[in-house]
Structure 1
Amino acid sequence: MRPHDMGTLFDEAVDHGARTVVHLDRPFDIAPDAGTRWTMRALAGLVRTTASRLAAAGVRPGDRVALVKDNHWDYDLLACAVVRLGAVPAQLSDRLDDDALAVLLTRLAPAALVTTVDVLARCPARTVPIRVTVDGPAPAATHLATLDPTGPCDPVRRHDDEPLVIHHTSGTTGTPKLVVHSTRTLVHKLARFETTPLPRIGVGARDVLLNASAYAHGRTFCWTAVMVSRAPATVVILTGDDPDRADPLLRAHRPTVVEALPSTYVRLRPLTTRLDNPFRAVRLYISTYDAVHPPVLRDYLTAARAARPVWMQGWGQTETGPLTFRFHTRRAALGPASDARRLGRPVPLRTRLRVVDRDTLRPVPRGRPGLLQVRTAALALGYVEEPQRWNAKRHGGWWSTGDLGVHHHDGSVTLLDREVDSGPELSCLGTEDEVEARLPQALECVVLAVPDGPPLPVVVTDDGELDPGEWKRAVAELPELAEPVVLRWDEVPRTGTGKVRRAVLAERLTGVGALLGTGRWT
């Protein structure tokens, strides 16, 4: 089955005989009394009844519908229901701060907002005509469960190049951008490519897929199209990253393929050392969104008992989808920490990449650092209400990623830093890898380039403590760093995808929010 219409995706899977069973760590927010086990037929029915309820609320073809709720895969089921009605879903994370959420809702000017009582209380959205809550009654809103689930919801078709869905970027450097994708860019160019049955990395009918993600973001909407089309035996959905809560579900349904946020891999890492760890059957790990540091790669690949487990690391952006892939093996994970920043090579026949000088935007020779630019047919349609910002990142047919890196003579790419986060003396990201490789108790290390003095390292540990002697030994051969700030995990400001909000963290620690880069391509 090749995905096409997200509004009828689950219906088509049923017609093709899909027998996938989905297990949730908690019930859907849009179906709180329906349990945690779902078949494809039941999911198709849920999308249809949800579409009927939204139609009863007044959603019409062409409307923009903002979705803001607790993290769960029913973000994508809601989006499919909105697509079925010919409307355009805009998936917004409930972890956005109030100011950012208000700005994005203003840019969207949605006809409808589907949300929670809590979000509606902190961001009233009085100018939105239709307000629907998924978790209970609220003033000036309609509870989803009270709307008619039996009304007409015939699928409304749209042109492949018309807006299909809107996602926002992570927002590590400020207010996120709203990215518009079409059926052609997101489904045809991205999802269909992933449904190709490839040896070792393709999803098969016997696989057990675990997804532990931020379901408001664009990756999972694409993943949903891929998963439903490939029809594995079992899918396991995690909405949180507490290892003790995840452990029983993963033991009951041992995954063979795992896709998770980098931050979630870090949080679930203690499971890899348990006697009967739940990752024993894994043959393929997948990570996107952010870098995964070498000690994490090593622990998960060692925990897998498959003959040749592989970690597939993708680098890309909300605007482009995946641009490069890198495959880590156990042997590679035991190699030099700096090698983890090699992002692999551009996707063959689909992506072109070059490095240009930041000032002149002229190409530089292979092996020299600069700004990474790409060409891809999967490039999104634009930013909502920010056309000038979109156009500023276009250079002829090339897209400026805002990342600094090196394109090597063998075709591979090394990521150095985000341009806005970069400093003059070292790669902050590379230094983080080195520190984590030498400091086992560090859950995470963040190196911040600051205007005056050496870079500031922030070390995250379980208890917020760090032995000074161990720190000195870890950085003895590294470039000069300031004395570390030691924090616990929940003391670090993060985006909905678990990325560190570096500018916010820098402002909290130094009083200076602006980092050293220009921010020209953020």
Structure 2
Amino acid sequence: MRPNDMGTLFEDAAAGGARTVFHLDRPFDIAPRAGTRWTVPELAALVRATAARLTDAGVRPGDRVAIVKDNHWDYDLLACAAVRIGSVPAQLSARLDTPDLLTLLRRLRPAALITTSAVLARCRDAAASAPLCVTVDTAVPGAAHLAALDASGPGAPVRRHEDEALVIHHTSGTTGVPKLVVHSTRTLVHKLARLEAVRYPGIGLRRDDTLCNASAYAHGRTFCWTAVVTALAPARIVVLTGDEPDTADPLLRAYPPTVMEALPATYVRLRPLTARLDNPFRRVRLYISTYDAMHPPALRAYLAASRRAHPLWMQGWGQTETGPLTFRFHTRSSALAPDAASTTRRLGRPVPGRTRLRVVDPDTLYPVPRGRPGLLLIRTPALALGYVGEQERWEAKRVGDWWSSGDVGVHHRDGSVSVLDREADTLPGMSCLRTEDLLEQRLPQALECVIVGAPDGDPLPAVVTADGRLDPDAWKQAVQGLPPMRQPAVLTWDEVPRTGTGKVRRAALARHLTGTAVTGTGRWT
């Protein structure tokens, strides 16, 4: 099956005989009494019923529908239901800070808001501006309750042109207020999902695979992922909504994955499971990570946890606006190499025949020679349609036929690409990302290291540990040979401001630690 219409995705898969069984770590928020085991025909019926309920609420073709709720894969089921009736879903993470969420809702101006009572409590002004409001958890005065709406309507699917708006996702927001990115069926389904929905030797999904995904389901990657995995129909799909090891462990041990995809931050959080006697990753043949580069210690731990002879790690680099741009593979031997910190920042080569990269001077925009750092520009047929409410910002990031990634990196002579920093996060005299990787390799107790600029003098490192403590002698040894830095701020995981995908919000962390944020120009953000 080739993914095509997201509104009938599960119906098409059921008609094609897909037998995938889905196992959830908790029931769907839109079907709280229906259990944690689902088949493809059951999911098709749930999407149809949800589409009928949205129609009963008053949602119409062409309407923008904002979805803001707790993290779960039913974000995508709600989006598919909205697509089915011809509306345009906008998936917004409930983990956004309230001011940022309010800003995005004002830019979006949705005809309907599908949300929870908790979100309504902190966003009443924005909710009041939406003509329709539907809650998925409990009934709230002034809002319709999803479960109480009529699910028996005819609900014939509404088709749209492949170049019309299909879905809206927001960027991670590491450097400020996230941007609202519009994708079409052509860019997201035809150019991205269809490229991935192929049984490539060694890395493609097999019919007997057990695939586990632990993601932030409001973000663009999972909407594309939903199209891909429904088309390829592995035997089982395990859905994790959180990153607490003890919560995830029972489901992972009940259905040990053969393919694992997770957020880089989630891999870090679940890493203690790799050291358990009955570790749930023993059958994994392929790990997949996107959104951010993996730090070498975590990568090594997971590859070592697999009992397969030659497990692979596929690391993708891309953006919400573009989808995947490069791929890189790691093995046990490459993860153990002395230069592992630099090789994880080498994000592979552009996708053959799909993506082109160019490195230019950020001031003159003239190309720089291979091996020299500069601003990374991209050319891809999967480029999104634009930003909601910020089209001037979108046009400002175009450089002729090229698109500015906002990343500073190097295009090496062998064709591979390294990312050094976001342009907005650059500091003089160092690559923050590379220095952070080296620190993590030298500090086994560190869950994460982050370097931010300080208003005067050397940059400030933040070291994240389980208990908020760090041995001063270990720190002295770790910084030998590295650029000058201040004494570290030692924090716990929950003390670090993060995006919905677990990325560190560096500017917010810098303001928290120093009172200000020292950044690059921000011109290409």
Q: Which amino acid aligns with 2:349?
A: R
Deviation track 1:50-70 (CA, whole Å, cap 9, x = no partner) reads: 000000000110000000000
Match of 2:465 in 1: 461
What residue in structure 2 maps to residue 145 of structure 1? 147
Q: CA offsets, 1:80-102, max 9 Å, x none?
A: 00000000000000011111111
The answer to whether 1:71 aligns with 2:66 is no
Alpha-carbon displacement from aligned partner over 1:368-411 (angstroms, at most 9, x marks no partner):
10000010000000000111100010011100000000000100
For 1:102, the equivalent position in structure 2 comes to: 102
Structure 2: runs of 5+ lacking an equivalent? none
Q: Which residue of 1 aligns with 2:16?
A: 16
Q: Counterpart amino acid of 2:351?
A: V
Partner of 2:524: 521
Contact 2:349 2:416 in 1 (8 A): yes
Letter in 2 for 1:350: R
**Does residue 499 of the first structure (1) align with residue 506 of the second (2)?**
no
- The one-letter amino acid paired with 1:295 is P
Residue identity opposite 1:516 in structure 2: T
Q: Shift of residue 454 of structure 1? A: 1.4
Q: Name the residue aligned to 2:374.
A: 370
Counterpart-to-counterpart distance in 1, 2:324 and 2:396: 21
1:477 aligned partner, one-letter code: G
Are positions 1:322 and 2:324 aligned together?
yes
For residue 7 of structure 1, give the secondary structure of its aligned residue in structure 2. helix
| Maintained 8 Å contact 1:450/1:516 | no
Q: Which residue of 2 aligns with 1:168?
A: 170
1:241 maps to which of 233, 240, 243? 243
Q: Which residue of 2 aligns with 1:380?
A: 384
% same residue: 73
Distance 1:111 1:147 in 2: 17
Tell me how far 1:451 sits from its aligned partner.
Answer: 3.7
Which residue of the other structure, out of 395, 399, 406, is the alignment partner of 2:410? Answer: 406
- C-alpha distance in 1 between matches for 2:202 and 2:512: 45
Q: Distance in 1 between matches of 2:149 and 2:389?
A: 32
Of 243, 268, 272, 1:270 maps to 272
Q: Is the 8 A contact 1:428 1:449 kept in 2?
A: no
For 2:286, the equivalent position in structure 1 comes to 284
- In structure 2, the residue corresponding to 1:8 is in which secondary structure? helix
Task: Please give the alpha-carbon distance, in whole angstroms, between the structure 2 residues aligned to 1:411 and 1:196.
Answer: 25
Contact 1:451 1:516 in 2 (8 A): no
Q: For 2:27 and 2:39, how far apart are their aligned partners in 1?
A: 14
Q: Separation in 1 of the partners of 2:107 and 2:508?
A: 23
Q: C-alpha deviations, 1:123-146, integer Å up to 9, x for none?
A: 011110100000011121011000
- Mapping of 1:44-443 within 5 angstroms? 44-124=44-124, 125-335=127-337, 336=339, 337-443=341-447
- 1:436 to partner: Cα distance: 0.2
Taking the aligned partners of 1:414 and 1:395, their CA distance within structure 2 comes to 21
Which whole-Å CA distance do the structure 2 matches of 1:461 and 1:55 have between them?
48
1:339 is displaced (CA, Å) by 1.9
Partner residue, 1:471 = 475
Counterparts of 2:120 and 2:415, CA distance in 1: 49
CA deviations 1:220-274 (Å, max 9, x no partner) are: 0000000000000000000000000111100000000010000000000000000
* Aligned position for 2:485: 481
Q: Which ranges of structure 1 fall in alignment gaps of 5 or more residues?
A: none
Cα shift readout 1:260-307 (whole Å, capped 9, x = no counterpart)? 000000000000000110000000000011121000000000001111
| Mapped pair 1:33 → 2:33 | yes
The letter for the 2-side match of 1:203 is L
Q: TM-score, normalised by structure 2?
A: 0.99
Deviation of 1:490 after TM superposition, in Å, equals: 0.3
Show CA shifts across 1:449-504 (max 9, x none). Answer: 33421121100000000000011011112111110000000000000000000000
Contact 1:423/1:450 (CA < 8 Å) preserved in 2?
Answer: no
Per-residue Cα deviation, 1:156-214 (whole angstroms, up to 9, x for no partner)? 00000000000000111111100000000000000000011111110010000000000
Q: How far apart, in 2, do the equivalents of 1:66 and 1:516 lie? A: 32
1:7 matched to 2:7 = yes
Match of 1:509, SS state, is helix
> Scaled by the length of structure 1, what TM-score is found?
0.99
Structure 1 residue runs of 4+, over 3 Å off?
none
